[in-house]
Amino acid sequence: MPVYRKGKKRVEAEKKIIRSARPVGSGDTRFFTAKQEWSTVNSSLKDIEKHFGFPLSKAIKSISKKRKNPVIVDWGCGKGRAISDIAKKFRNTKCYGFSDNSYFEWNKAKNVSFIHATAHDFSRYFKDGSIDLIYSRLGLDYLASSFGSRDSANDYIREMVRKLRVGGMIVCSSSVGYDLIGSHPKGIIVKEENFTINVINDMYTIIVRTK
């Protein structure tokens, strides 16, 4: 069963820029008009781990032992450096970079599928229960400005949880966690209907789908 869902075809003018990037689908590269650019576009896997203080490599290694081909998504991937590092390091993973801007560097990436779309259209590309791990260094911090309100941004995060497999996780900044559940002591696990939220420290939050 494929991970992706049906999306819109890209316009012909964009063919050259992402021709050699591997599309998420049976042959059509997907395209949506970009609306904003993330603050950091060229972070390596090492940069991501340093910024979060979260052992992303260790988490993926653990997932890889449990699943044959785990699905990893970099939400707000920029030039795709970090997700390319993951694809190189963990060859059994299925790696996807998601961004509302496209970059020439995507053409050079191996074993990574890039999705050029707005945040609003993320859910059309992934089936419910199909993703093992989504990480976002800074991208999800911009949801409120993209959607117009914190409530809408929080609803979007809840929709993202549906795309996770049971036990799958979203790793994002601490501010996203605080917005979801309000201010509370760090390290306290807050349970919602089908997921838990744990603001680990001032740097990152882990959201885990429970059912």
Per-residue pLDDT at 115: 96
Query: Taking Cα atoms as reference points, which of 22, 25, 16, 17 lies closest to residue 8?
Result: 25
Please, what sign has the CA dihedral across residues 84, 87, 93, 94? positive
Give the CA distances from residue 141 to residues 72, 147, 203, in Å, rounded to whole numbers and listed in that order: 19, 11, 12
Residues whose CB is less than 8 angstroms from the CB of residue 62 and which lie 6 or more positions away in sequence, other chains included: none
Per-residue pLDDT at 57: 95
Structure tokens at 112: 């990574």
User: Is residue 53 left, alpha or beta, with left meaning phi > 0 and alpha meaning psi from -120 to 50?
Assistant: left
Q: How far apart are CA 164 and CA 149, in angstroms?
A: 24
Structure tokens at 13: 């003018």
Structure tokens at 168: 């799958």
Q: Where are the domains of the chain?
A: 12-209
Was domain 12-209 assigned CATH 3.40.50.720?
Answer: no
What is the tens place of the pLDDT at every residue in 38-97? 346 788 898 888 877 889 999 999 999 999 999 999 999 999 999 999 999 999 999 999
What is the tens place of the pLDDT at every residue in 159-195? 999 999 999 999 988 777 777 766 665 677 888 889 9
Beta bridge partners, 190, equal 197
pTM exceeds cut of 0.85: no
